[in-house]
Amino acid sequence: MSESKTPSAPKPPVSGGGLAKRISRRLHGGSAFDGFEPRLPLDLQGWNSQHPMLTRLVKELKPKVVVDVGVWKGASVAHFCKCLERFKVDGFVIAVDTFLGSPEHWDRSRSDGVYESLRMEHGWPGLYWQFMSNIAHLGFQDRVVPLAQSSENAAVILRRLALGIDLVHIDAAHEYEPVLADARRYWPLVNPGGALVGDDFGWRGVKRAAMEFSAEIGIEMEVQGAKWVLRKPPAEAVT
């Protein structure tokens, strides 16, 4: 589903709390948005980016740290930020993506503009600049820490930062092996009482990986449309 919009007036940046600043300093020496001016008009094209399950999880968990794995142009990141604002949570979002696109995006025969969205220049995608421009247009610079890495490397980086994650959204590659691998990588980083939510349960490989992982950790999965959710028991419930 496409969710493109026209540019709106920039809003003053909002707070993502001191932790966002510290993580930005550790990763980027400051905010990745310092001195950045949007290069492209707002374009929030995405898929299931404003799904009610994402809204519900922010409302319920009040997450300080959200990790969005697979962000494309940032539509789900922006939705998380809007929810954090709406539910008055002093949290922030770490946006993990190679910004190189997924296998299904590298398809020049597609007629839905997705290939063009990669903004290829001499074989190298410029997706990152659309993402950065979108976050800056929306004024969410203080709530977003970009992490331009593979999901695999990002999990290692986040583990080294000893950063407990309250909510992780898995929406990177959609084949069976990478989805299962992402669930296995990010689940141990989720805080007790937190949750892992994935997208595209309708994809055969995603469904298989999600069901297999749910059985592996012995936690019942909740499915609402495209979203599948695994909730980690609170600390006092862990035996």
Ligand X SMILES: C[S@@+](CC[C@H](N)C(=O)[O-])C[C@H]1O[C@@H](n2cnc3c(N)ncnc32)[C@H](O)[C@@H]1O
Residues that bind ligand X (CB under 6 A): 46-47, 49, 70-72, 75-76, 96-102, 150-151, 171-173, 178
In sign, the C-alpha dihedral spanning 188, 190, 201, 154 is: negative
Q: Residue 27's Cα: distance from chain center in Å?
A: 17
Q: Are 98 and 107 in contact (CB under 8 A)?
A: no
For the bound state, the minimum distance from the C-beta of residue 18 to ligand X, rounded and expressed in Å, comes to 27
Our CA dihedral for 21, 53, 47, 199, rounded to 10 degrees, sits at: 90
Which run of H or of E encompasses 186? helix 176-186
Neighbours of 72 (CB within 10 A): 28
14: amino acid identity, one letter: V
Task: List the beta bridge partners of residue 144.
Answer: 93
Q: Could you tell me the smallest distance in angstroms from the CB atom of residue 19 to ligand X?
A: 22
Q: Which residue is nearest to ligand X (CB)?
A: 46
Taking the complex as a whole, how short is the minimal distance between the CB of residue 171 and ligand X, in angstroms?
4
Nearer to ligand X (CB atom), residue 98 or residue 133: 98
What's the min distance (Å) between Cβ of 76 and ligand X?
A: 3
Name, in order, each residue with C-beta under 8 angstroms of 121's C-beta and a sequence gap of 6 or more: none
Residue 194 DSSP one-character state: E
Which of 43, 166 has the CB closer to ligand X? 43
Closer residue to ligand X in complex, CB, 15/106: 106
CB of 169 to ligand X, least distance (A): 7
